[in-house]
Structure 1
Amino acid sequence: MTDQRNAPRPAGVTMRQLRAFVAVAQDESITRAAQRLHLTPSALSMLISSLEGELAVRLFERTTRRIALTDAGLELLPSIKKVFENLDDAFDGLRQLSDRRSGRFAVATSPLLAATLLPPLLAGFRVRFPGIRVDLFDLPVDGIAQAVRSGQADFGVCTADTEMPGLVLTTLYQDRLMLACQSDHPLADRREVRWAELAGEPLALLRHGSGLRSLVERGFAEIGEPVQPAFEVAHVTTAVGLVEAGLAVSILPSYALSSARSPGVVAVPLTAPVMERNIVALTDGQRQLSAPCEAFLTHFKSGVTGLAASSSQKKTRKKTAGQA
């Protein structure tokens, strides 16, 4: 008996022969398979015959009425079909990789996110995917959802605490509220500051109606303290300006302070309680995201973590330099 493990491997088998074999096996007809492969029946028969000759085994039983797989053909077919499935998967992967490296998409976000968090993320994304063009719409918060619904934007990036009908919210990052104060403020060198320690401090807060103001009020409610701001403003940049001038301290998102223009303003994490809110991707549940969109959202998740770590390291270095 011949040891099959030591039998010579066929060297002349081609992809055309194998595709011909699978087509005939599926159609059980030389004529139908030839039509599907855009070949003549005689050309297809020659491919099957040459494959059988190369393998030294009959793969089909032929009669005047039908063609059927032999036992050897039945044994071979699942393996060959698996080979083609793997090849198709590989080619699909290559096409998706190519799609991810070129194209265009539009993202809608709030003016604050557009001015602070998005620019460094977009810069890093452009380095990785220089062939993808990004259109950025900085819109009022209530306009982001509308831009996604209308198709003006492929997706939105915003803070959201409630569900939005027809839209899908996917968490990208969880942001923490921070104390913003001057670098020479008594609390500036602390690793963390408790909310209770802000009693008596002149606060610059956003006006009622903003999600940030609601979150700040929840923080004070948890410690049983009333909210008594010294200043109520409409924009985060105004609050930062008041802090920079030494007129107030403020409670702001970490991303709003990570790129603060003033080196004299520092951010200290607030604790007891820790107040966080989600930065989410806002997408239309009826539309599938393109490959470039998926690539950016993946980049966002990894990139924003790196920015947060970088901001923390800068703050630590600044304190160390001040103590030296």
Structure 2
Amino acid sequence: MFINQVFKYKHDFWRYIIGVVVVVTGIIVGQIPLLIALVAEKGYEIMGMAESEMMTALDSNYFLFLMLLTYAVALLFLLFIVKRLHEQPLKTLTTSRSKIDWSRFWFAFGLVSIFILISTIGDYFTNPDDYVLNFQLMPFLILLVIAVIFVPLQTSFEEYFFRAYLMQGIGVFVRNRWVPLIITSVVFGGLHFFNPEVTKLGNIIMIHYIATGFLLGIMTLMDEGIELALGFHAANNLLTALIVTADWTAFQTNSIFKDISDPSVGWDILIPVLIIYPAFLYIMARKYKWSNWKEKLFGKVHKPQLLNVSEDN
């Protein structure tokens, strides 16, 4: 199974502590080009800037490229530590199947893309005054190239780090499934606390981010791999970057439309959590015939009795 297979590789908990430190170092290293560009543009006054001000200090496509470059570098650091420190192949970090199932990735990608397109078009025709046409051909084409290449790297880093590396590492340490599900989901959502959306909409939006972490974590445990989570996350961020931007979002891009409304969020934030997210899980469960939910989400992680590879703990 997705977590159990890690017992075949070097899985001492101290290795995961070192791994997290190395990944955080990768994030810091990846931010250096962005910091250099900001200092070159604004000088050391950036030290007192809010994140929203930094976003407007550079051309939006340039800023987006440098911001996403951070995650690309972090992904390289993560894959290096998995290969060298844990001696674990990429396939077992991705799935428990005999090979990575890219059809699952594309199914989730298509499902989320269709939902975003329908909901965005519906909202546009329902509330046309909330949108202005933001499309400019050359900036959009540049955005398209950057987004198609680097957004999947950003989302892949987050999925490989939270739903794979940490899910497996915590799982083999505590020997169950529910603890890594809770920890990775809460930490994933909590790191979004510094997003501009939280400043604009209030702390209640954190329910959405944490619930998204649980959604992706449940997909991973029920499907025994992160292929669906990879596709879901990539489609969500890519379509968001290309279709609609706003002055208060983490992705301020040369998208097709700009949302000029003054948004507010209340308990209606529970609608996606209680209706839309369960609908996604229901569709995936029916397609891939998920069963034994209790065991897969709350069961024990058992150490195999016989291993093909010697272990060192």
Higher strand fraction (1 or 2): 1
TM-score of the two chains, using structure 2 as the length reference: 0.21
- Answer with 1 or 2: which has the greater Rg: 1
Higher helix fraction (1 or 2): 2
TM-score of the two chains, using structure 1 as the length reference: 0.21
